[in-house]
Chains A and B, each alone.
Chain A
C-alpha cells in the first residue's frame, strides 16, 4: 500500500512510520505545518509545528530512507481548529482541539490530499488500534497501553476515514516505543512527549484566549447571585474548574467552590459547591459514528474527557443528537468536550456535549 506517515517530529510518529515501512508499505513522510508563523523557533518540544520539529521529522525520514515533505495546512488549521476553539470558548464551552484536528485536518485535509496524490492511507503515531472484522469492516479500539490510549481523540473518525487509517502503535506500551526508537537509532528517542495544546505555546490557555478575544472584566457570583470575585473574561472558565478562581472571600460553609456554570451572554461565572456538579444525563450533538450508528437504546461506556474514566451508561441516537444516561452521578462534565461511547474496547462514536444535567435525585 502507498501510505503517508504523518510525522510530527516526535518519537511516536517516528516509530509508527518505521513500522509501516517494515510492514512492506511504500511510505512517504509528511510533516504538517500548522502554525501561522512557522518560522518561530521554540525551546521546548511542546507542540507539533516548530522548525525543530519539522527538522526532527526530516531527520527520522532520512534515517528510514523515505521521501519527506512538509505540507502547509496552516490556513485550514486556523479556520477549522483554532478559530473553532476560540469561538467555542467565547460561547462558554470547553472544546477539545485535538479531536477537531483529527476530524478536519489529519484524517480529512491531509487524507484527502494524500488520496488525490495516489496514496491509499494515512498512518499516525496515535495510541489506538484498528481491528479488522471477519466481514472486512474496520473497528477502532482502545490501545493496549491504557495510560497512553488516544482513542478518545479519534472518536470523531467515520468508518470511511477509518478505512484509510493506520495506528501502528496501538499494540505497544509507550516505554517499549521509546526503546524501539533508540534501537532504530532515532535521535528523537528521548524527546519529551508533547502535551497541552500545540498552538498555545506557553501553555497559558487563559492568557491566549484573553489575547484572542480581548479582556472582558466581569463578576464571579455564587448560586444566589452574591458577587464573590471578578474575572477578566468568562470565556476563560470551564465547568468543574476549581483552581485559579481567585475568590475574594471564602464560602460561608468553608467548602471549596467550583465553576458550575459559565454565562457568556452575561459575562458571568457562577461558582458553587461540588454537589452542584453532579450530573447523570448528557445531551450531545454533532454525532460521529466509527461504524454503523447504534439502533435503539444501547449499553455503552461513556468517557467525557481525554484520559478520563469510562462510566457505564445507556445511549441512543436521534439523527445528529445523542442522549446518554449514566448509571451513576459524575462530576466535571463540561459542555464543548466530547462524550465518546465505547462497547468494551471498541469505539462506537462520539458527540459534542451540549448540555448535562441531573435527572434523578440521589
Chain B
C-alpha cells in the first residue's frame, strides 16, 4: 500500500480525462490539415480550447497551447522580454517574485546572463506573500525600465496564494504587463483570467487531472510575444508545432471536471490537510507549518498543501524513511545532481538554511483519503526519530 502525498508534483489523471484522451488517441488527424480528417481533429482542439477558456475566465483566442507549465513560463518571460525590448531598448528590467518556480527563475537568469536583462527580486513576507506595495516600490525605482512583472498565483512548495489582482493593478498603473504562473492554482482555486487582470497566465494539465506534456499560456490578445519555437505558425504564430489533439482533449476534460467539483473538493481536501497538519504538530512540539495556515484556510493557502519544517532532520532522510514506510512525498525543493539544495522559497521567507534542510512537503489531491493522512501520521514519529539520529551521525 502506497499513500501518495505528492499531488503537487503530479496528480493521477481523472477517469473522464483518461477516457476522452484514450478515445482521441485512436483517431488520426493533424488539426492543421485542410481535409475532413484534419477538420475533425481541429474541431476537437477548438472545442477543447473553448472549454479551457471558459473554465479559466478567458477567451478562446487567448489560449496558446504549450507542452506544459515550463514552456508557458518560458514563452511568457522570454517572449515578453524580447518584444518589450524590441519596442523600447530601455525596457530590460524584470520584476520577479523571489519564491517563483525555477521555470521562471531560470528564464530570468538566462535573460540576465545572455540578453542584457536586469532583475529586481520582489521580496516576500515570512508567509511568502509578495505585497502589492513591494511591487510598486520596485517599479518606482525606475518605471521606464520595466519589461515585465511576474508573480505566481500559488506557490508550489509552501502553498501561499498571492493577491494577483492587486499586483496586476499596480503593474497596469505603470503600463507594465503582468504574468502569473497559475500551474498550482488552476483547477484547485477559483481562477478567472479576465477578472485577475493578468496579461499572461501559465497553466498545465497534469496538476489538475490531465495528462503530462500539455499546458497553455493564456495571453491577452494585445500581449506581444516573440515566439520561442518557429515553424508551422500554429497558435497565433507564437508557438509552432503540431498540436497534440488527444492531450489537449484530456486537458480540457480534466479542467472542466476539476472546476465543476472545485468548491466541494477544495473543502474536502482542506479538511484532510488540516487534520494532517494538526496531528503532525502533536507529534513533536518543535515542528512548524510554513506559510499562512489556519483551520479551513483556502484563500491564502492551497487546500491540498501541507508544508512542515522538522528541526534537526534532513528532508531527504525523512523522504527515504517515509518512502520505505509506503508514504510518497517530497522535500519540495529542487535537486542539483540529486543532491537536495536548501529551498530558495524558504530562504526568501527568512527561514535559516539549517531549518530549511528539514522541509517536508505533503500535498493532497482528488484521490486523497483519510487513510493517506493516517498512514503519514503513523509513519512520521519513527521517521523523525531516525532522521534526527542520521543528522547527528553525519554532523560530527
**Are A113 and B320 in touch, CB under 8 angstroms?**
no
- Complexed CA–CA distance, A128 and B146 (Å): 64
Interface string of B136-179 (1 = CB under 8 A from A): 00000000000000000000000000000000000000000000
- Complexed CA–CA distance, A249 and B237 (Å): 74
A355 on the interface (CB 8 Å rule)? no
Among A51, A69, A74, point to the contact of B316 (Cβ < 8 A): A69
Secondary structure class of chain A's binding surface, majority of residues: mixed
- Given A67-B323, A69-B316, A118-B386, the answer on whether A113 and B338 have CB atoms closer than 8 Å is no
Q: Which residues of B contact A54 (CB under 8 A)?
A: 337-338
- Complexed CA–CA distance, A115 and B316 (Å): 16
CB-CB contacts below 8 Å: B285-337 with A: 316-317, 320-321, 323-324, 335-337
Closest partner residue, chain B, to A73 (CB atom): B394
What is the minimal beta-carbon distance from B110 to any residue of chain A, in angstroms? 16
Q: Which residues of A contact B337 (CB under 8 A)?
A: 33, 38-39, 51, 54, 70
B339 on the interface (CB 8 Å rule)? yes
What is the minimal beta-carbon distance from A37 to any residue of chain B, in angstroms? 9
How many residues does chain A have at the interface if contact means C-beta atoms less than 8 Å apart?
A: 23
Q: Which residues of A contact B16 (CB under 8 A)?
A: none
- Complexed CA–CA distance, A118 and B393 (Å): 12
Q: Which residues of B contact A31 (CB under 8 A)?
A: 338
**Are B316 and A113 in touch, CB under 8 angstroms?**
no
- Complexed CA–CA distance, A76 and B392 (Å): 13
**Are A117 and B390 in touch, CB under 8 angstroms?**
yes
Q: Which residues of B contact A117 (CB under 8 A)?
A: 317, 320-321, 386-387, 389-390
- Given A113-B390, A113-B394, the answer on whether A70 and B338 have CB atoms closer than 8 Å is yes
Closest partner residue, chain B, to A40 (CB atom): B337
Interface string of B173-190 (1 = CB under 8 A from A): 000000000000000000
How many residues does chain B have at the interface if contact means C-beta atoms less than 8 Å apart?
A: 19
Interface string of A118-131 (1 = CB under 8 A from B): 10000000000000
B12 on the interface (CB 8 Å rule)? no
CB-CB contacts below 8 Å: A98-136 with B: 109, 112-113, 115-118
Closest partner residue, chain B, to A35 (CB atom): B337
- Complexed CA–CA distance, A54 and B337 (Å): 7
Among B321, B323, B393, point to the contact of A112 (Cβ < 8 A): B393
B340 on the interface (CB 8 Å rule)? yes
- Complexed CA–CA distance, A72 and B333 (Å): 15
- Complexed CA–CA distance, A94 and B323 (Å): 44
Q: Which residues of A contact B387 (CB under 8 A)?
A: 117
Among B335, B339, B389, point to the contact of A116 (Cβ < 8 A): B389
**Chain B CB within 10 Å — which of A51, A73, A115, A116 has the most?**
A116
What is the minimal beta-carbon distance from B382 to any residue of chain A, in angstroms? 9
A28 on the interface (CB 8 Å rule)? yes
- Complexed CA–CA distance, A96 and B340 (Å): 30
- Given A109-B394, A112-B394, A117-B386, the answer on whether A28 and B320 have CB atoms closer than 8 Å is yes
Among A38, A58, A67, A76, point to the contact of B339 (Cβ < 8 A): A38
What is the minimal beta-carbon distance from B205 to any residue of chain A, in angstroms? 26
What is the minimal beta-carbon distance from A137 to any residue of chain B, in angstroms? 25
Please give the residue numbers on chain A whose beta carbons come within 8 Å of chain B beta carbons, in ascending order: 28, 31, 33, 38-39, 51, 54, 58, 67, 69-74, 76, 109, 112-113, 115-118
> Which 7 pairs of residues, A with B, have the shortest CB-CB distance?
A70-B338, A116-B389, A112-B393, A116-B390, A38-B337, A116-B393, A72-B339
With A33-B337, A71-B316, A117-B387 given, can you name 4 additional A-B contacts, CB distance below 8 Å?
Answer: A70-B335, A116-B393, A117-B317, A117-B321
